[in-house]
Structure 1
Amino acid sequence: MKLDGYTRLAAVVANPIKHSISPFIHNTAFEATATNGVYVAWEIETSDLEQTIRNIRRYQMFGINLSMPYKEQVIPYLDELSDEAHLIGAVNTVVNHDGILVGYNTDGKGFFKSLPSFTITGKKMTLLGAGGAAKSILAQAILDGANQISVFVRESSMEKTKSYLGRLEEQTGFKVDLYALEDVSELQARIAESDLLVNATSVGMDGQSSPVPESIVLPETILVADIIYKPFETPFLKWARSQGNPGVNGLGMLLHQAAEAFQLWTGKEMPTEVIWQSLQEKYQ
């Protein structure tokens, strides 16, 4: 990679962020597409967020990615929001369009791109969780024309989720069905009718726990996805595969949301195949 006076900067902004694999993904893509850019990780305090956003214009950067805890906090400092960022209420990519800063959320698009030969249009989905990643998957599924969506959250999160889903319905006219995760018979009934089951909670990161009881029986044709990629195979995915169902982990979502951001910044397609090989070697 040749750095010179024309090299443009992109960065990921979060706290903590030093462990991020985004610099590896994007710098590999810059090199593979002969784009004169470099991607770094900035670990900043909340008090520095506004100044950091101003620097995107000041240094004529491509833009930035955002992770926790800044995906929502960044919104007041942006000029415009894309449809999905507006629906989700969170931004993971800022693009510098000649000094106009536009916020996007590529998480949902990245998630659906990571699913092999599956489109959500006209299909039914059961979604576990209602945090940031779940919201992006939910909003994208609605924008892509899903037929029916059931969301399951813990009893303690019901009220908060209900008000978010209410706002979502006002904006889109789409009514999401909400249930308590503790209601196992309802969970079984919804899963039995679904084409896609997604774990968008962090349950399973420990390599021990699963968000659903093992007694749940999966329909033959359902695709099962987990947004977690460390461990590479969560207990949830192991359980799905033991019933003979295909399972997809979160590594593809991470790669494809990055590819969407890369294309927004550079107008070029990220060579995901090449990068996917290296990522699998790294995390399997």
Structure 2
Amino acid sequence: MRKFGLIGRKLGHSFSKRYFTEKFAREGITDAAYELYELEQIAQLPALLAKEPALVGLNVTVPYKEEVIPLLDELDEAAARIGAVNTIRITNGRTVGYNTDYVGFKNSLEKFYPLKHKALVLGTGGAAKAVTAALDALGISYTLVSRTEGVNTLSYRDITPDVLRHHHLIINTTPLGMYPEADTCPPLLYEHLTPEHFLYDLVYNPEQTLFLQHGKAAGAATLNGLEMLYGQAEAAWSIWNA
């Protein structure tokens, strides 16, 4: 039996196990199982691999997409360029890191947002790195937003009505709004959103985050992270079975 799974700190929000379990049943894949592995710290990964020798593939979620890199034997070229890993292939104990978030996000964004107007990327973690790589590939300029101002990064208090007016695409790459803390959202001036805005939330549980609800109330187009999840999952499956 081949084993696959997801590593992260808290995984109660994740649909990954359900997605792969349903995929295995639908496609008649009987030699595979997918499990969730909560790790208090990423340093526990080697112990997990030793304990589970049948593991041949892992997905990686917050907050370990960057922290996992030093523990891997090798990085795919794209993952090295992006600086974040969400997929690991394990062959005879050797680990290689990949980034399929990039693929899942880029493909879904192309269908959702046909324009080239500037984007605000909320967050600066591993997911944001895959998002900005995709925006670069699509020729969409962007500004990073974080809790604290930094090099090429605005703080949330810097996001004035004028900034919102000149950035039509807003992408939430943070876990704000994710179950079970569904009553949270990035601190934006939502009353200044318009029907010309597009809000993309990488969070998919709940399907309608508070961030997306605010956007919808303003008449903006909205999309959650489910399509991205499915896209990155299928790309990961291809890597594991290559």
TM-score tier, shorter chain, comes to 0.7 to 0.9
Output the amino acid matched with 1:52: L
Mapped pair 1:33 → 2:33? no
Aligned to 1:232: 207
Output the amino acid matched with 1:225: Y
Q: Do 1:15 and 1:68's aligned partners in 2 also have CA atoms closer than 8 Å?
A: yes
Q: Do 1:111 and 1:137's aligned partners in 2 also have CA atoms closer than 8 Å?
A: yes
Q: CA deviation at 1:150?
A: 1.3
Match of 2:139 among 146, 153, 164: 146
Mapped pair 1:196 → 2:169? yes
Q: How does 1:192-271 map to 2 (within 5 A)?
A: 192-204=165-177, 205-207=181-183, 209-218=185-194, 220=196, 222-267=197-242
Q: CA deviation at 1:29?
A: 1.5
CA distance in structure 1 between the aligned counterparts of 2:93 and 2:23, rounded to whole angstroms: 24
Q: Deviations over 1:2-53 (max 9, x none)?
A: xxxxx31112223333664321111222232333311112234545322334
3-state SS of paired residue (1:40): strand
Aligned to 1:174: none
* Structure 2 unaligned blocks of 5 or more: none
Q: CA deviation at 1:94?
A: 0.4
Match of 1:112 among 103, 106, 116: 106
Aligned residues: 237
Q: Do 2:87 and 2:100's aligned partners in 1 also have CA atoms closer than 8 Å?
A: yes
What value does the CA root-mean-square deviation take over the aligned residues? 3.0
Q: Do 2:135 and 2:141's aligned partners in 1 also have CA atoms closer than 8 Å?
A: no
3-state SS of paired residue (2:44): helix
3-state SS of paired residue (2:187): coil
CA distance in structure 2 between the aligned counterparts of 1:237 and 1:181, rounded to whole angstroms: 17
Aligned to 1:43: 38
3-state SS of paired residue (2:3): strand
CA distance in structure 2 between the aligned counterparts of 1:158 and 1:212, rounded to whole angstroms: 15
Q: CA deviation at 1:152?
A: 1.9
Q: CA deviation at 1:247?
A: 0.4
Q: CA deviation at 1:100?
A: 4.5
Structure number with higher helix proportion = 1
Q: Do 2:195 and 2:219's aligned partners in 1 also have CA atoms closer than 8 Å?
A: no
Amino-acid identity (%): 32
Q: Do 2:39 and 2:45's aligned partners in 1 also have CA atoms closer than 8 Å?
A: yes
CA distance in structure 2 between the aligned counterparts of 1:20 and 1:240, rounded to whole angstroms: 24
3-state SS of paired residue (1:114): helix
The 3 A distance-change label for structure 1 pair 20 and 134 is: same
Q: Do 1:126 and 1:190's aligned partners in 2 also have CA atoms closer than 8 Å?
A: no
CA distance in structure 2 between the aligned counterparts of 1:17 and 1:208, rounded to whole angstroms: 18
Q: Deviations over 1:40-68 (max 9, x none)?
A: 12234545322334677x53x43111234
Q: How does 1:46-57 map to 2 (within 5 A)?
A: 46=41, 47-53=43-49
3-state SS of paired residue (2:97): strand
3-state SS of paired residue (2:183): coil
Aligned to 1:134: 128
* Structure 1 unaligned blocks of 5 or more: 1-6, 163-176, 268-284
Q: CA deviation at 1:80?
A: 1.9
